[in-house]
Amino acid sequence: MIELKDVSKTFTLHNQGSAVIEVISNVSFAVAPGECVALTGASGAGKSTLMRMIYGNYLTQTGEICIDGLNIVQAKPRDIIKLRRDVLGYVSQFLRVVPRVPTLDVVAEPLRALAVPADEAQARAKALLTQLNIPERLWSLSPTTFSGGEQQRVNITRGFAHTYPAMLLDEPTASLDAANREVVLSLIEDAKARGAAIIGIFHDEAARSRVCDREIDVGRFTPGMAA
Amino acid sequence: MTPLLSVQGIAKRYGAHIGCADVSFDLYPGEVMGIVGESGSGKSTLLNCMAGHLVPDAGQVVFDTRTDGPRDTITMSEPERRMLGRTDWAFVHQHARDGLRMGVSAGGNVGERLMAVGERNYGDIRDKATDWLGRVEIDASRVDDRPTTFSGGMQQRLQIARNLVTGPRLVFMDEPTGGLDVSVQARLLDLLRGLVRDMGLSAIIVTHDLAVVRLLADRLMVMKSGRVVEAGLTDQVLDDPQHAYSQLLVSSVLQV
Amino acid sequence: MTEYNFAYLDEQTKRMIRRAILKGLAIPGYQVPFASREMPMPYGWGTGGVQVSAAVLTPDDTFKVIDQGADDTTNAVSIRTFFQRTAGVVTTTATRDATVIQTRHRIPEEPLHEGQILVYQVPIPEPLRFLEPRESETRKMHSLEEYGLMHVKLYEDISRHGHIATSYAYPVKVEGRYVMDPSPIPKFDNPKLGDMAAIQLFGAGREQRIYALPPYTQVVSLDFEDHPFEASKANHCCGMCGATDSYLDELIIDDAGGRMFVCSDTDYCEARQAMGHKGKDAA
C-alpha cells in the first residue's frame, strides 16, 4: 500500500549561506494493508520529516514514494490532493483550522469533501466526538479555544472520520489520559482490522508494542546520526 | 480531464518594466489556486490579464466554455468575453466598493447579474437575492438597504453573493480578505471555503496573506518580479519552500 | 428676415444636423453625436429641439410648439415667435394642422398622422446615465446590448415603493435593440411612441445627441413579468372639457387647498370645449 524506494531528502537554506542539510538518505521500506509500522529513533532523527515526505507535505529530492500506486514524488498537486481526500489520512500533532468554525463541522469536513451528505457526515462526527469524550456542549464551539488535550482529540476524530486505506499518525496518544488513549488505540486496531496500512510515531512504548507489527529505526537513514 | 482554465505564457509589460512574464498553469474544476508575492510582484497584473481586465502582450487564457469547449478568451470577441464575465466568471475585488453599486439596494446588487442574463420576474429575482443574502449570512431584512449602511465585512459578503448568484464556475479574487479585521476575515474564509466546496467552484486567489492561502488554496504559486519562482501544493510550498524567495517570504511571517 | 439665414442656422450646420437625423432614423433609438451650436437661448430651454426644428423646417411648413402640452406658456411662445421671425413659417396651435411640432415633455392627445414631424426637447438622452456615470461604459453597454442595469433601476423602484414609481422619462426598448430615454414625457404617453404615423426626432443640445424613431416603429416600455408596465394618469376627468382619456395637470386654485384637474394638452381641451363638451369646473 505504501512503498518507499531509495528516498532521500535535503534542506537547502538559501537565506542562511545556502547551507545544505541532509536529513534522510536512502530509505526503503513498504507497508502492507492491515499492517502498522512504527517509526522510531532519537529526537531529531527525522521521523516527522519522513512522515511529512510520505504525506507530500515535504518535497522529496530523490527516490519514489508510492501510495496506492501513485508516486507522490512526481505526482501533480491535484493528484496528491485527491490521494489525501480519498486514500491517505494524516493525524498531525497540531490542529490547523479556520477560526470560528464549530468543532462538529471541523470533524465532518473530510467527509463533506468526499460529498457525503451533511447529516450523515455530522452523525459520524458526533459518534466519534462522543467516543473520545469531547463534551457535547463544546461541539458548537471552535476548537481553537480548546485545551491542548482537547485539540489533540478533535484532531484524531477528524483524522478518523473517513475510513482511509492508508494512515499516518504522528504521536496520536501524546497528551491523552488513560481512557482516551485506550479509545485511540482501539480506533487504530479497528483501522488495521479493516485493512488500513498505517505508519505511526509513538513515544508511548506500551502503545507502540500493542498496535505496531514492526519498527523501523529512522536513525539508520540519518546521515551523521547513524552509528 | 480538461482543465477549466489553461494559462499559457502570459506576459504583460509596462514599457520596459515587466508586469508579469512566462506564466503558465492549468486549473481543474473544483481547484483553488493561491498566488502570493509581495506588492509589485505582478500577481494583480496576472489576475487582471486572466480575467480580461487587461490585455496581455503574449500568451493564451483558454477557458473550457459550456457551449464550445476550450476557447482562448484573449482572442474571443469582447461581447463573448463580457458575457463570460457575468455568467461563468466572477471577480471579487479587494475593496467591496469597486465591486458593488453603492447607490443600489443589496437586493438590486445581487439581482443585477440575474437581470443581465435576462431574468424578468421581480418576485423570482427578489427571492433569489434574499436566498443569497442568507447564504452569505446577511439578514433578509437588509435586502432593501444600500451597501453604504453595511459594515466592511458585510459589504464584502454582499459582493460575494452578487458574484455567485449566477452560479459561476470560476471566481477570481483579489485580496478578498484585505482590509478586514481578523475576526471578520475568519468568518469570510469559512464562508468562502463552504461555497467553494458546495458549489464545486474553481478559484484563483491573489493575496499576500499566507494564512489565507493555507486555509483556502489547494495549490500555490509564488511570484517575484513578475515571474513564478515556485509552484506546488500549498502546504508543501509553505512548509518546505525550495526557492530562496519563498523561504524568505515564509520565514518573514510573524508567528502569533 | 434678411438679418438671418432661413430658420436661424447656416446651411452647413443644418446639413450636418440633417445627416445626424438621417443616421438616427436609420438606426432607431441610437444616439447620434452632433456638433450642437450655440443658440440664442440658454441650455435647458430646448436648444436641442430648436436645432432639430431648424434643420427640418421648410418655408411651406406649419409650426406648432407645446410646453408640457400647452401652447401658451413662455417657453412655447418664445420658440414659436423665434421661428416666426427667423423662418417666417406659418404657426398654429391646432395639432392636426401642424406639419412640424416641437414639444417639451408631452405627446399631443390627438393621434398624429403621416407627414407630420414631432420634435422632442431632451435634457439627458442617456437612459443608463443615473446608474453608470461613465460615457465610455454606457456606449459599450449600448453596443453590446448589456441592459441589465436598466432593470436594476426598475427593481429599485419596486423594492422601495412596491410598484414601478418611475412616472416620466420611462425607458423603452426600440425594435428589440436600443434602450432609449423618451425624454421626460409622462409614462402615460409611452404607448403613443410605438407604431406612430409621424416621424419622431429627439434633440439634446447640451449633451449633443440626436436620436429618432421612424414612422411605425416598435417601442416597448421596459417592465417585469409580475410588474407589467402601466400607462397611468390622475384618476379624474378634465374639469374644463370633461375628457376621461387625456393626461391631466393638477392645479391649485385657491389658498384653501382647492384644486382642479385639467387637460395638459390645451389644444385638445379647447377643441373639445368648442364642440360643446363641458367639465364640472367649466364656467
Model ipTM value? 0.87
- What are the C-alpha distances in Å from B50 to residues A96, B55, B221, C143? 31, 9, 15, 24
| Residue A123, burial from CB neighbour count under 10 angstroms (0-12, 13-18, 19+) | middle
CA of B102 to nearest chain C CA: how many angstroms apart? 10
Alpha-carbon distance A12 to B242, whole Å? 7
- What are the C-alpha distances in Å from A212 to residues A49, B121, B207, C275? 20, 65, 44, 111
- What are the C-alpha distances in Å from A128 to residues A6, A148, A205, B148? 38, 18, 25, 45
Domains plus CATH for chain A? Answer: 30-59+81-221 (3.40.50.300)
The beta strand positions in A41-121, using DSSP E, are 62-67, 70-71, 88-91
For residues C180 and C127, is the Cβ–Cβ distance under 8 A? yes
The residue among A77, A9, A167, A70 whose CA lies nearest residue B237 is A77
Q: Helices C47-56 and C11-26, interaxial angle, to 10°?
A: 100
Among partner residues A14, A81, A112, which is closest to B197 by beta-carbon distance?
A112
- A133-166 confidence digits (pLDDT tens): 999 999 999 998 898 888 989 999 999 999 999 9
Touching partners of A (3+ C-beta pairs < 8 Å): B
Given the DSSP bridges, would you call strands B32-36 and B202-206 parallel, antiparallel or unpaired? parallel
Among partner residues B108, B116, B121, which is closest to C146 by beta-carbon distance?
B116
The reported pLDDT for the residue numbered C2 is 59
C158 → chain B, closest CA residue? B122
Return the C-alpha cell found at B174.
483579489
Query: What mean pLDDT comes out for the span A212-223?
Result: 86
CA of B219 to nearest chain A CA: how many angstroms apart? 7
Model confidence at A51: pLDDT above 60:
yes
Please state, rounded to an integer, the average pLDDT across all residues of chain A.
Answer: 90
Which residue numbers in chain C have pLDDT < 70? 1-2, 283
- What are the C-alpha distances in Å from C7 to residues C35, C55, C199, C212? 17, 8, 20, 21
Q: Give catalytic status of residue C241 as yes or no.
A: yes
**Which residues are CB-contacts of B179 (< 8 A; sequence separation ≥ 6)?**
B94, B95, B152
Alpha-carbon distance C24 to C209, whole Å? 10
The reported pLDDT for the residue numbered A226 is 43
Interchain CB distance below 8 Å, B107 and C159: yes
Interchain CB distance below 8 Å, B242 and A80: no
Label each residue of chain B as H, E or C. CCCCEEEEEEEEEECCEEEEEEEEEEECCCCEEEEECCCCCCHHHHHHHHCCCCCCCEEEEEEEECCCEEEECCCCCHHHHHHHHHCCEEEECCCHHHHCCCCCCHHHHHHHHHHHCCCCCHHHHHHHHHHHHHHCCCCHHHCCCCHHHCCHHHHHHHHHHHHHCCCCCEEEEECCCCCCCHHHHHHHHHHHHHHHHHHCCEEEEECCCHHHHHHHCCEEEEEECCEEEEEEEHHHHHHCCCCHHHHHHHHCCCCC
Give pTM, 2 decimals: 0.86
For residues B117 and B87, is the Cβ–Cβ distance under 8 A? yes
- B193-217 confidence digits (pLDDT tens): 888 888 889 999 999 888 889 888 9
Residue B142: its chain C contacts at CB < 8 A? Answer: none
Cα C101 from chain centre: 10
Residue B215: its chain A contacts at CB < 8 A? Answer: 98
- What are the C-alpha distances in Å from B47 to residues B10, B16, B26, C191? 11, 20, 14, 47
Of A92-101, B241-250, C234-243, which gets the smallest average pLDDT? A92-101
> Of B182 and B75, which is predicted with more confidence?
B75
Confidence of residue A94 (pLDDT cuts 50, 70, 90): confident
What are the φ and ψ backbone dihedral angles of A165, each rounded to 5 degrees?
A: -75, -15
Q: Give catalytic status of residue C269 as yes or no.
A: yes
Q: Give catalytic status of residue C263 as yes or no.
A: yes
Alpha-carbon distance A165 to C212, whole Å? 73
The beta strand positions in A32-133, using DSSP E, are 36-40, 62-67, 70-71, 88-91
Model confidence at A3: pLDDT above 90:
yes
Catalytic residue among C29, C46, C69, C203: C29
Query: What mean pLDDT comes out for the span B170-178?
Result: 91
Residue C95 DSSP class: G
Return the C-alpha cell found at B45.
497584473
Given the DSSP bridges, would you call strands C248-252 and C219-221 parallel, antiparallel or unpaired? unpaired
Model confidence at A68: pLDDT above 90:
yes
- What are the C-alpha distances in Å from B48 to residues A51, A72, B4, B11, B242? 39, 33, 17, 12, 27
Confidence of residue A227 (pLDDT cuts 50, 70, 90): very low
The residue among A51, A48, A44 whose CA lies nearest residue A65 is A51
Model confidence at A225: pLDDT above 60:
no
CA of A29 to nearest chain B CA: how many angstroms apart? 23
Alpha-carbon distance B207 to B43, whole Å? 8
Alpha helices in chain C (DSSP H): 11-26, 47-56, 74-87, 135-143, 148-161, 190-193, 266-274
- Edge to edge, the sheet with strand C178-180 lists C178-180, C172-174, C219-221
* 3-class SS of residue C30: coil
Confidence of residue A218 (pLDDT cuts 50, 70, 90): confident
* 3-class SS of residue C237: coil
Residue carrying C-alpha cell 461563468 = B88
Q: How many other C-beta atoms can be found within 10 angstroms of the C-beta atom of residue B69? A: 10
Interchain CB distance below 8 Å, A52 and B190: no
Name the B residues in 142-161 with CB < 8 Å from any C CB: 143-144
CA of B220 to nearest chain C CA: how many angstroms apart? 35
Alpha-carbon distance B200 to A157, whole Å? 25
Query: What mean pLDDT comes out for the span B160-167?
Result: 92
Residue B82: its chain C contacts at CB < 8 A? Answer: 144, 146
Alpha-carbon distance B27 to B172, whole Å? 12
- B22-72 confidence digits (pLDDT tens): 999 999 998 999 999 988 899 999 999 999 999 999 999 999 999 899 999
Alpha-carbon distance B106 to B161, whole Å? 10
Residue B79: its chain C contacts at CB < 8 A? Answer: 144
Name the B residues in 111-140 with CB < 8 Å from any C CB: 111-113, 115-117, 120-123, 125-126
The reported pLDDT for the residue numbered B255 is 63
In sequence order, the β-bridge partners of residue A198 are: A36, A167
Alpha-carbon distance A147 to A175, whole Å? 11
* 3-class SS of residue C227: strand
Interchain CB distance below 8 Å, C159 and B79: no
